[in-house]
Structure 1
Amino acid sequence: MSNSEMYDVIIVGGGPAGLTAGIYAMRAALKTVLVEKGVFGGQVAITKEVENYPGYINIGGFELCEKFLEHARSYDLEIREKEVVATEPGIDHHTVRLADGTVLRSHAVILAAGGTARKLEVPGEHENFGKGVSYCATCDGFFFRNKTVAVIGGGDTALEDALYLAKITSKVYLIHRRDEFRGSRILQQRVFAEPKIEIIFNSVASEILFDRSGVTGVALKDVKTGGQRQFTVEGVFIFVGFAPNNGLVPAGIKKNATGYVITDEKCETSIPGIFAVGDLRQKYANQIVLAAADGCTAALAAAHYVEMRKGTAS
């Protein structure tokens, strides 16, 4: 295998956006490679249940990701389970460098690196990651069977995971900084109807309490009165949004104030031939179906871009 290889399209990331891009790129007969360093499916893979992806009334997140991957592989998409360390724009072609020293070159690059759970950045959080602090209920909920836990957040993920934890634990404190949830109405109805969930509005975690064994409680501050109080819990599950994984986005590409990549309707960035999709791209909402749509759009646009580049070169 050559240490420097040329492709039509390189896709960085194997979540719903990246895998969909791979499907459409292969259907367009583009020489394509997808590079993913971790678990295929991204955040979706650690979601217990998906109820809003068209065609599936209810499906496990990991199972849905497996279907994405199986579909992509059915087109003989080349997949490399490697880490990307740099994306470098160029005039004649773009370059993607892997951790093992391999250099990949292409006419177009589709960045589909997704996002990472945001941290509270409060005392006790970092020290107790894996010892009572978690960002994934389906990953770690089992360890808190019949115990009391806190869930922090007010979006769909927080509500979904509070409901999931209510099936396993003895009690769930659901803590949100506002006086109403951001999550969908159907999830709110389920949360309000669940007797094991106690809702605490207008409060933020100021500290995660712990001893040598791990988490022992959470300290809260009332955002309206400034009052402080503590709750005894053995686990704290944090769902306060995601930050885009934009570390591989070249410096010349425009981003908004929160780090999301700004693109046009084709998902193309401010550098021609480099596209951003899924949770990496600035858009109204982050949903699996929208990530898949981004992947489709970017691949179709990349196919047109590659055709134009090859036509100009000839």
Structure 2
Amino acid sequence: MDRQVDLVIIGAGPAGMAAALYGSRAGLSTVMIDASAPGGKLLKTYQIENYPGVGTVSGPDLAMQMYQQSIAFGAEFLYGEVVEVTQDKKVRLADGTVLEAKAVIIGTGAREKEMGIPNEAEAIGHGESFCAVCDGAFFRNKDVVVIGGGNSALEEAQFLTRFASHVTIVIRRDVFRGSVKAQKEVEENEKISVIYHHIPKEVVLTDGKVSGIVLENVQTKEQQTLACQGIFPFIGQVPETSFVKDLGILNERGYVIANEQLETAVKGIYVAGDCKEKDLRQVVTATADGVIAATNAFHAITGM
């Protein structure tokens, strides 16, 4: 099935939903595509305190509010996996659907990075998880390990204390990268301990399930095995941009490069959110990207 629309938005996270709101409200026929439920990483975020004007809100609640508003002016949500975007802005889906667009916004975000150590592939889904909000309840009264020292790691560790007997945070440095507030909360939580100057080297499995993790001291190279039933790595992200790898718009890390108007080197193809090359990745910056990209797409399409 081939269709012609004004604006195709790939990704229904905060960036995509903001773009859908602005594009459709401006009168563009707008289709927003995602292979998962609308919300992106909001669906995996327990609590948000820094989205202006909202106050403290759960990620899923904010996602639902954004989604309802994003389709209020006629934007269509289409469930599907995009496998290719061409130079002439044809968007191909895995089911054979092709959308011909006047403008495309890439807002697919980024997925969590794996540790890349022995036994990890077997451990994923059997004790290793990338979402404490999704899977935390499965680790009730168990010992778990969080890998990473940024805000995500600290916040997820805090959430896990609602279920786990104990949470150990492992970082390779001697200081956290997360906010002062998050650090203070972790330090004051009796159910959390921290192992500094260590990196994960191997997942230990027993009967196909996580039973521990081998850690290495980055200074002495000495190793220790820490018993645990769950591992949660929060060590960075990988952009979800493989479907545009042939367009010449990605940097060496796979992030999309764009100008101040958020337009890529391919005229009519824009980017918004976490898959864009930039320094700060937050919900509020993603929505701002979506607004800028959709507004510039509108001007390009209409000539206004």
**Shift, 1:56, TM fit:** 2.2
1:89–1:250 contact (8 Å) kept in structure 2: no
Secondary structure at the aligned position of 1:248 is classed as: helix
Aligned partner of 2:296 in structure 1 is 301
The 8 Å contact of residues 253 and 269 in structure 1, kept in 2 or not, is answered as no
Specify the code of the residue in structure 1 equivalent to 2:38: F
Q: Name the SS of the counterpart of 2:244 in structure 1.
A: coil
Q: Give yes or no for contact 1:170–1:196 (8 Å, CA) kept in 2.
A: yes
1:1-314 to 2 correspondences below 5 Å: 3-90=1-88, 94-308=89-303
Residue identity in the other structure for 2:145: A
Q: State the 4+ residue runs in structure 1 displaced beyond 2 angstroms.
A: 252-257
The answer on whether the counterparts of 1:150 and 1:237 sit within 8 Å (CA) in structure 2 is yes
* Matches of 2:254 and 2:3, distance apart in 1: 31
Distance 2:32 2:207 in 1: 43
Identity of aligned residues (%): 39
Q: Is the 8 A contact 1:12 1:112 kept in 2?
A: yes
Residue 196 of structure 1 and its aligned partner are, at CA, apart by: 0.9
| Cα distance in 2, alignment partners of residues 258 and 183 from structure 1 | 23
Could you say what secondary structure the match of 1:278 adopts? coil
Equivalent residues of 2:47, 2:59 under 8 A apart: yes
Unaligned 5+ runs, structure 2 = none
Q: Deviations over 1:173-193 (max 9, x none)?
A: 100111111111100010011
Please give the root-mean-square deviation of Cα atoms over the aligned residues, in Å: 1.2
SS of residue matched to 2:70: helix
Query: What is the TM-score normalised by the length of structure 1?
Result: 0.94
TM-fit CA distance, 1:250: 4.6
Contact 2:86 / 2:247 at 8 angstroms: preserved in 1? no
- Structure 1 gaps, min length 5: none
Distance 1:161 1:185 in 2: 15
Deviations for 1:258-284, whole angstroms, at most 9, x for unmatched residues? 211111111111111001110110111
Asked if the contact 2:30–2:74 (Cα under 8 Å) also holds between the matched residues in 1, the reply is no
Q: Return the offset for 1:43.
A: 1.2
Any idea what SS the aligned residue of 1:97 has?
strand
Which stretch shows the higher mean deviation, 246-255 or 120-129? 246-255
Structure 1 residue 11: Cα displacement: 0.6
Code of the aligned partner of 1:55: G
Is the 1:178–1:203 contact (alpha carbons within 8 Å) kept by the matching residues of 2? Answer: yes
Report if aligned partners of 1:253, 1:261 keep a CA contact under 8 Å in 2.
Answer: no
Distance apart, 1:252 and its partner CA? 2.7
How far did 1:7 drift? 1.1
- Partners of 1:296 and 1:250 in 2: how far apart? 24
Count residues with an aligned counterpart.
304
Give me the whole-angstrom Cα distance separating, in 1, the residues matched to 2:29 and 2:72.
Answer: 15
* TM-aligned CA deviation for residue 255 of structure 1: 2.2
Q: Distance in 2 between matches of 1:241 and 1:112?
A: 18
Deviations 1:185-205 (A, max 9, x none): 100010011111110111100
**1:209-257, CA deviations, whole angstroms, 9 ceiling, x for partnerless residues?**
0111511111100111111111111111111111100112252333222
